[in-house]
A and B are shown apart, each in its own frame.
Chain A
Amino acid sequence: MNSWEIIIGIETHVQLATVSKIFSGAPTMFGAEPNTQACAVDLALPGVLPVLNKKAVECAIRFGLAIGADVARRSVFARKNYFYPDLPKGYQISQFELPVVSGGQLAIAVGQGDQAYEKTVRLTRAHLEEDAGKSLHEDFHGKSGIDLNRAGTPLLEIVSEPDMRSSDEAVAYAKALHALVRWIGICDGNMQEGSFRCDANVSMRRPGQPLGTRREIKNLNSFRFLKEAIDYEVRWQINELEEGRPIVQATVLFDPGSGVTRTMRTKEDAHDYRYFPDPDLLPLVIGEDWIAQVQAALPELPGAKKARFMSEYGLSAYDAATLTAGLEMADFYEAVVAVAGKAQAKPCANWVMVDLAARLNKEDREIGASPVNPAQLGSLVARIADQTLSNNIAKKVFEALWNGEGTSVDDIIEVQGLKQITDSGAIEALIDAVLAANVAMVSEFKAGKEKAFNALVGQVMKAAKGKANPQQVNELLRQKLQ
């Protein structure tokens, strides 16, 4: 039997990092008292008119340039008409036929280790629109409560082509997009607060056949839910199809508690939005000079930075990709290298990606909140390079820095007496003492037991309180035992 091919497209609502709303001067801060950030425009009181926020447009331009899309020199706002109490105007101002951004693409990295691969996802469009308010359905003696603080918050809705073939690819896409919008500073990326919400369009087909009927899973606000919802939906659709029941186009909601998707509405009662250009807003014209300005202010993008990390620092594709997963991480790494020196680029990468990352993970901290700063980590790597520290002792110094036992690497080495012993004479003296005290082990080694050698190394290191240079200990011990 033929297998099914999974087809996924994703629409993402990205809340733009503005201080005021897209069409009014009300604040957009999260968590304010209900309706204290909803002005006359947001409430749709009679006689008000929308005035477009320049920063919101600039965010859209930034995004368009960052994904290599076409930024429309002229785009149009449209009214999307539907009735719901958290939408006081009776329509949402959005863009329809002429969006501000068209096309573009995003590189994604899927899977890990041997299974890892890269892929390019094409984007269809991105358009500006306003968010709606919030309805609270619980506990108002049979009524719903409406909070319009979020009404009018600027959103960029980013629509992908149906290019993803698994939930892993969908998550990789969402992660890459999430990293990019934060990287270029257009969104704070806070998923708990709803700053980055995904809808997944899922359908099945036999390979090579036309696209099947899709169902849209709405409002997924975590990568885990995105994966779980798609996995469930895929199993459900395959089961329906194999049982001979055709898929009916529908909008569904994912319930994280039960892990199940439920139909919200089918096509028959789907909204007919009756889009038309909003007569309150004139066409949005974006001049070449503005686009050039935004382009010039754009930071080095993840793809370019990754390529530079490989050529400039000699890192592997994997290391470079890991270090450029976020702008903070990339900046941190470069600041470490700046102190340790380019010759130490690879050890610096290991310290940031392995030791620091593990420690951050353990305490659930972001790299920006690392107690060890890049300058400290850089001088730590430099002290390993100049043989002041062994790798093992360096880990102790790292812990000391993390715990605030000192602010300078050199001070910690000095105060805690951690300097590596590299003087051959001193090491030889230690070895002689160990050999004299472990005659049995020596004869075991001479009888051909290689294990005994390692035991002797261990004894010497113990005698040196871990501070002897391990390589030198190895070499000198071999010489003595010959």
Chain B
Amino acid sequence: MIPYIAFNFKVLCVAQPSDMSLTQEQIQRIAHLARIALSDEEAMATRDQLEGIFGLIEEMQAVDTTGVEPMAHAQEVRQRLRADLVSETDQRDLFQAIAPEVEDGLYLVPKVIE
């Protein structure tokens, strides 16, 4: 198992040259995936931050982990399981009271058709 941060690294590291510089296009693509609108200025600042993170990752990647079992969690703990029982009651009215718009029991959202 690759530690969690490495996953993000893989995503960001789209055929990165060794100096780890990101193009504006890559920054905007990452921003789009996260549905974050970035101005060109913000994108520049974000690039600097991300490259800083790459530096940290590089440092970690440089550590020799031969023979160390990959981990998915920092502690030796396991997932607890719950019995298959219904424990929740219908609270639709309560939940829908804070929704911007509802109709016929449905939450209404801007039209989405793929």
Contact = CB atoms under 8 A, between A and B. Distances in A.
Contacts of A395: none
Contacts of A84: 112
A40 to B, nearest CB: 7
B81 A276 contact: no
Contact of A20 (B11, B86, B101, B109): B86
Nearest to B32: A272
Interface stretch (B43-51, B57-65, B91-99): B91-99
B113 interface: yes
Interface in A308-367: none
Nearest to A85: B109
Interface in B82-114: 82-88, 90-92, 95-96, 101, 103-114
A24 interface: yes
B68 interface: no
A85 B112 contact: yes
Contact of B78 (A43, A265, A276, A282): A282
Given A36-B92, A282-B79, A265 B114 contact: yes
A18 B84 contact: yes
B95 to A, nearest CB: 6
B8 interface: yes
Interface in A13-64: 18-20, 24-27, 33-40, 43, 45, 51-57
B1 interface: yes
A265 B92 CA distance: 34
A277 B72 contact: yes
Given A35-B92, A284-B79, A143 B101 contact: yes
A51 B86 contact: no
Residue from B82, B90, B107 whose CB has the most chain A CB atoms within 10 Å: B107
A401 interface: no
Interface in B22-42: 33, 35
A143 B1 contact: no
Contact of B8 (A56, A57, A265, A276): A276
Interface stretch (A132-140, A236-244, A292-300): A132-140
A95 B86 CA distance: 24
A430 B13 CA distance: 96
Interface stretch (A144-152, A186-194, A414-422, A446-454): A144-152
Contact of A52 (B79, B95, B105): B79
A257 interface: no
A44 B112 CA distance: 20
A273 B92 CA distance: 30
Nearest to B109: A85
Nearest to B71: A283
A19 B85 contact: yes
B111 A143 contact: yes
A52 B78 contact: no
A33 B102 CA distance: 14
B87 A35 contact: no
B106 A35 contact: yes
A76 to B, nearest CB: 5
Contacts of A279: 4, 73
A25 B79 contact: no
Contacts of A25: 82, 85-88
B98 to A, nearest CB: 9
B84 A274 contact: no
B86 to A, nearest CB: 5
A440 interface: no
Contacts of A275: 7
Contacts of A76: 1, 72
A83 interface: yes
B106 A53 contact: no
B105 A34 contact: yes
B107 to A, nearest CB: 4
Contacts of B83: 54-55
A20 B84 contact: yes
A142 interface: yes
A301 interface: no
B15 interface: no
Contacts of B114: 264-265
Given A144-B110, A146-B106, 10 more contacts: A20-B84, A36-B90, A52-B79, A85-B109, A137-B112, A145-B106, A264-B114, A272-B11, A282-B73, A284-B79
Which 6 A-B residue pairs are closest in the complex by CB-CB distance? A25-B87, A145-B106, A55-B84, A276-B7, A34-B105, A54-B81
Interface of B: 1-2, 4, 7-8, 11, 33, 35, 72-73, 77-88, 90-92, 95-96, 101, 103-114
Interface of A: 18-20, 24-27, 33-40, 43, 45, 51-57, 76-77, 81, 83-85, 97-98, 135-137, 140, 142-148, 264-265, 272, 274-277, 279, 281-285
